[in-house]
């Protein structure tokens, strides 16, 4: 899930001192020749903006003259016309009563059957202590001292780390800092407790929520599933009530965070007036690979310690204090295809050592899953102007057999912020290119990968925390969280900000946000 990005080019300041007049003249001619192209692009941009504005407000623009005519006609009515209208209504009293009854009945059915709004009250991301940081040099030195890797594997890991986009402040669990490493069950439990309880303690402190108020608990962790379960560990720690609905999701990969949100949303439609807590994490201790198969070494270089805890509510009274409202969840599963099913696969190598293997076809499969996902998501989030353009190109291609390039919808018109799963540099690069995003749209993803690494299903929450810490989240803004996971799955969650959202207390970016964004070397 790694890959090199394009070399970033910074504008270079050129001094014209000492140049001849001829050189200066040539430079001016060069810019003059490019001026029409610039003007054309500006004109096309304004035409497209005008088109989107016209289509988006078409109904309003049509209603204005209709309302104007009605008002003018009403103003010209004399008292006799008003009396005649009233008498007409009296003679048709039965019809009026029946129509009114139908309206009342229909409104009641609609109100009773419509989905209950789901609010995100607050969330918290775990930040490990500085003692668990794994700088590049320490990581490579430690890998060499373990004696488990040959020179070829060490060189491979070095190259992956150099191109990964990870910085020197990511974290690995305590067990991996030991020499020799101690990937025991006890150490894995300690990592899980440290991450989950750390995120939950901060969430409960910020929201003042009590354990007895939580009716639903969903925990997702792909590779570590002890008995009793992780959800049972949380119930035991916080003494949650006996009738709580608990769920433990395993083996669902980095997209399981969105799946957990979707499950909690469905449960909140059934169980009224309650809270749901979603805990998303991954466990590294027992899943570090100590072999020499290249495709299994990549996760060692990318995955790092992290986790998140999210508090959801279906209480109407919580809207005022909540940060976001859940708008849509769209899930795509490509597991029916054998190649997609095996592209992220836990197995043993020839030496009997267990690890997660990443296929070379991963990016192509992820692209196909993304295409299917946005085909479903697009019609429910994109403005009608974009849908018309997409439909027009489709008709031209299908009916008239025209060699028309497929129209890529502009998702920047539907969303203000993008939280792309920080699975690796190549994932972010590919989505930036395919969705035609600007660098600012993928900034949160790149900086999360740099600061915290791939924290699996919780990475999209570190990215949301980055946007908030930068002060960019405004009331009414829409956020697209998109994640990929084994199986192969592509899942999307859409949130709408209910207010100008500020960074929460003990935000993971609290003491370092001023240093970001940083330049990522290619």
Distances (CA, A) of 155 to 164, 297, 420: 14, 11, 29
pLDDT above 80 for 25: no
Question: Where is pLDDT greater, at 19 or 398?
Answer: 398
Q: What is residue 484's predicted lDDT score, i.e. its pLDDT?
A: 95
pLDDT band at 392 (very low <50, low <70, confident <90, very high): confident
Q: What is residue 399's predicted lDDT score, i.e. its pLDDT?
A: 74
At 407-427, the pLDDT tens digits run 778 899 999 999 999 999 999
| Average pLDDT estimate for 42-46 | 45
Both tokens assigned to 364: 């192509």
Rounded mean pLDDT of the chain?
A: 85
- 411's enclosing H/E stretch is none
DSSP-derived letter for residue 404 is: P
pLDDT above 80 for 109: no
Q: Residue 258: CB partners within 8 Å, gap ≥ 6?
A: 329, 331, 457, 460, 481, 483, 491, 492, 493
At 301-350, the pLDDT tens digits run 999 999 999 999 999 999 999 999 999 999 999 999 999 999 999 999 99
Strands of the sheet with 214-220, listed across from one edge: 245-249, 214-220, 275-281, 307-313, 119-125, 324-333, 489-497, 478-485, 417-420
Rounded distance between C-alpha atoms, residue 349 and residue 352, angstroms: 5
At 178-195, the pLDDT tens digits run 989 999 999 999 999 999
Architecture of domain 119-515: 3-Layer(aba) Sandwich (3.40)
Q: What is residue 95's predicted lDDT score, i.e. its pLDDT?
A: 72
pLDDT above 50 for 403: yes
At 111-154, the pLDDT tens digits run 666 788 999 999 999 999 999 999 999 999 999 998 889 999 99
pLDDT band at 522 (very low <50, low <70, confident <90, very high): low
Both tokens assigned to 344: 């992220």
Task: Specify which residues 292 forms β-bridges with.
Answer: none
pLDDT band at 90 (very low <50, low <70, confident <90, very high): low
Q: Is 279 helix (H, G, I), strand (E, B) or coil?
A: strand
Gyration radius of the chain over CA positions = 28
Q: What is residue 431's predicted lDDT score, i.e. its pLDDT?
A: 93
Task: Answer for the pair 414, 383: CB distance below 8 angstroms, yes or no.
Answer: yes
pLDDT band at 50 (very low <50, low <70, confident <90, very high): low
Q: Residue 164: CB partners within 8 Å, gap ≥ 6?
A: 2, 301, 302, 424, 425, 449
pLDDT band at 53 (very low <50, low <70, confident <90, very high): low
**Residue labelled with tokens 């019609």:** 379
pLDDT above 60 for 170: yes
Task: Answer for the pair 123, 308: CB distance below 8 angstroms, yes or no.
Answer: yes
Q: Residue 363: CB partners within 8 Å, gap ≥ 6?
A: 3, 426, 427, 430
Q: Which are the catalytic amino acids?
A: 254, 333, 417, 421, 450, 454
Percent of the chain topping pLDDT 70:
83
Q: Which of 442, 459, 454, 423 lies closest to 258, judged by CA?
A: 459
pLDDT above 50 for 469: yes
pLDDT band at 54 (very low <50, low <70, confident <90, very high): low
Q: Enumerate the domain spans of the chain.
A: 119-515
Q: What is residue 49's predicted lDDT score, i.e. its pLDDT?
A: 54
Distance of CA 381 to the CA centre of its chain: 15
Q: What is residue 383's predicted lDDT score, i.e. its pLDDT?
A: 86
pLDDT above 80 for 209: yes
Q: According to the 3-state scheme, what is the secondary structure of 495-513?
A: EEECCCCCCCCCCCCCCCH
């Amino acid at each position: 899930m790694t890959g090199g990005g394009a070399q970033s080019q910074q504008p270079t300041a050129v001094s014209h001192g000492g140049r001849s007049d001829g050189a200066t003249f040539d430079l001016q001619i060069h810019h003059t020749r490019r001026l029409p192209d610039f003007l054309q692009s500006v004109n096309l941009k304004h035409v497209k903006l005008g088109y989107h504005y016209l289509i988006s407000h078409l109904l309003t623009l049509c209603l204005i003259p209709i309302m104007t005519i009605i008002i003018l006609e009403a103003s010209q009515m004399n008292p006799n016309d008003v009396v005649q209208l009233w008498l007409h209504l009296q003679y048709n009293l039965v019809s009026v009563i029946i129509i009114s009854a139908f309206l009342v009945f229909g409104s009641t059915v609609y109100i009773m059957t419509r989905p209950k709004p789901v609010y995100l009250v607050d969330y918290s991301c775990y930040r490990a202590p500085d003692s668990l940081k794994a700088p590049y040099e320490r990581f490579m030195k430690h890998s060499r001292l373990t004696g488990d890797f040959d020179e070829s594997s060490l060189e491979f890991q070095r190259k992956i780390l150099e191109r990964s986009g990870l910085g020197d402040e990511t974290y690995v669990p305590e067990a991996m800092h030991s020499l020799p490493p101690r990937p025991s069950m006890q150490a894995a439990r300690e990592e899980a407790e440290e991450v989950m309880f750390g995120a939950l303690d901060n969430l409960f402190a910020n929201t003042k929520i009590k354990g007895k108020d939580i009716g639903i608990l969903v925990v997702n962790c792909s590779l570590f599933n002890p008995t009793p379960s992780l959800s049972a560990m949380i119930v035991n720690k916080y003494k949650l009530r006996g009738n709580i609905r608990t769920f433990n999701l395993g083996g669902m990969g980095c997209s399981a965070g969105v799946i957990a949100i979707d499950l909690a949303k469905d449960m909140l439609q059934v169980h009224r007036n309650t809270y749901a807590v979603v805990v998303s994490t991954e466990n590294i201790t027992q899943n570090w690979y100590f072999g020499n198969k290249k495709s299994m070494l990549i996760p060692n270089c990318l995955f790092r310690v992290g986790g998140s805890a999210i508090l959801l509510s279906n209480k109407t009274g919580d809207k005022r204090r909540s940060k976001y409202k859940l708008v849509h969840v769209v899930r795509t599963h490509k597991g029916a295809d054998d190649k997609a099913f095996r592209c992220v696969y836990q197995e043993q190598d020839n030496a009997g050592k267990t690890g997660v293997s990443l296929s070379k076809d991963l990016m192509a499969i992820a692209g196909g899953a993304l295409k299917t996902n946005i085909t479903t998501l697009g019609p429910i989030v994109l403005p009608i102007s974009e849908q018309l353009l997409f439909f027009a190109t489709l008709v031209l291609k299908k009916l008239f057999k025209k060699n028309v390039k497929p129209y890529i919808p502009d998702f920047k018109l539907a969303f203000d912020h993008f939280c792309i799963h920080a699975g690796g540099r190549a994932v972010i690069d590919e989505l930036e290119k395919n969705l035609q995003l600007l660098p600012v749209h993928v900034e949160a993803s790149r900086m999360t990968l740099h600061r915290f690494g791939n924290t699996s299903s919780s990475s999209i929450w570190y990215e949301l925390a980055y946007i908030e810490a930068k002060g960019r989240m405004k009331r009414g803004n829409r956020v697209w969280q998109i994640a990929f996971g084994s199986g192969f799955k592509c899942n999307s969650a859409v949130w709408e900000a209910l207010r100008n959202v500020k960074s929460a207390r003990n935000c993971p970016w609290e003491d370092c946000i001023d240093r970001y964004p940083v330049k990522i070397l290619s």
